[in-house]
Structure 1
Amino acid sequence: MQPDLITFGETMVIFDPAGKGPLRYVSQFNKRFGGAESNVAIGVSRLGHQAGWMSRVGDEELGTYVVNAIRGEGVDTSRVTRTSEAPTGLYIKERVREGSNQVYYYREGSAASRMSPEHVDWDYVKKAKVIHLSGITPFLSESCREMTLEVLRYAKENGIYVSFDPNLRLKILQKYPDHKELLLQIAKEADLFMPGYEEAQYLFGTDNPEEMIERSLDAGADQVVLKKGAEGIYFAEGDGDRGFVESFKVDKVVDPIGAGDGFAAGVLSGVLEGKTLREAVEQGAAIGAMVVTVEGDIEGLPTKKEIEAFKGTNSDVVR
């Protein structure tokens, strides 16, 4: 398969509580899977593009489950490697109340944290039109950091479009005193930088969206998309269009996890289709709104037909 988009990162098995409240009182769970990078790959695949996901999983039943499930969503998993020396990562959700989740990670020393440049199929990478990176992978381990930077270097040398979502996970970042510098280094080399408002606030030390955009462009990014939740999305190109797209309004947020990944999939699908940045952002906004109305990381990711139906029936959309 010749991939349109390739992602690199860890996908974990999720234990999703069947009820709300503290985990001490929960006795039943649903088994799912989730990871920022594979979520994006699945989202892009559902929109009609070829996507590949590269990672490592444990050589056990949970690793088999993750690979089979992602492959079943139309994503190429042929470059996923397995190891008997480390387990597949886990995380457990806690539904404290409607629309509010807590997440507990069990990923220290996981199979994916053992990724390194030697696990990358460079000939496969060279075929991609887009490489999507997140700020999670380089902080899983030193070897993952080395792999991420090597992938970034290779992509730039070979003229491959790079998108970067910082996807801050403070529980991981606390172990790395230089994490801001590394995140900004990757953003500088990326063609498209997609931070959330709170992430940009953390990285740049300002609460002004326009200043966040300018700081991102000054850092070296060619295109910037700044997500500000229910309010909307700012976007800018260094020498091109700039503007703001209002978010789609939803009556009820069921599960906010995965909305950013859905948004990224919509934007990157637009990039692959040659849309303007504004058009790509509008598509991402629609998908982000759809994702939060469904439980699970990937369950709400739509097809193009479903996006059009959503736009046509969502009468309370404010644009």
Structure 2
Amino acid sequence: MDLRAALAAHRLVAIVRGDDPDAALRTVLALAEEGIELIEVSLTGKDALSVIERARHTLGPDRPLGAGTVLTAEDARATHDAGADATAFTDEGIHTVPAPRTAVVEPVGAGDAFAAGFLAGLLRGATATRALRLGHITAASALRVTGDHGPLPDPQETEALLGLSAREWAER
């Protein structure tokens, strides 16, 4: 998703936070049902990660869902694990890449794997979008196995995944 284009088109990001996680979840789902396209759950709310995880489960993988007040690397890993989309802010703009559908055997290590893939991509000179995708690919390798890391796709498959159009990537 091109967040800048989405903001220009919708002109609104709904930010949800509060002391009652069930009420926050109901709010997220009501906003989505009423057609609000861009929704963020602030980590300052009680059990915000649970709200994100339950909202992602209900809304499905194709609906934009963000996390706000992400202040540390651990916050970023935790929000990714909960199902928030991955977003990078660079001098060139805002880049958001949804997590691909992946069969989850165990979530241990997925956030660290995402961070490793993302940083490896940046260190290799990849664009922010390609680095985010590489983060998702490495996170998926961890999610598919028991333990904290699994086998990565071979280099040709990885390159093919990185080369998908935004639409093809979102449909995965």
Normalized per residue, which structure has more helix? 2
Please report the TM-score for the alignment, with normalisation by the length of structure 2: 0.47
Please report the TM-score for the alignment, with normalisation by the length of structure 1: 0.27
Normalized per residue, which structure has more strand? 1
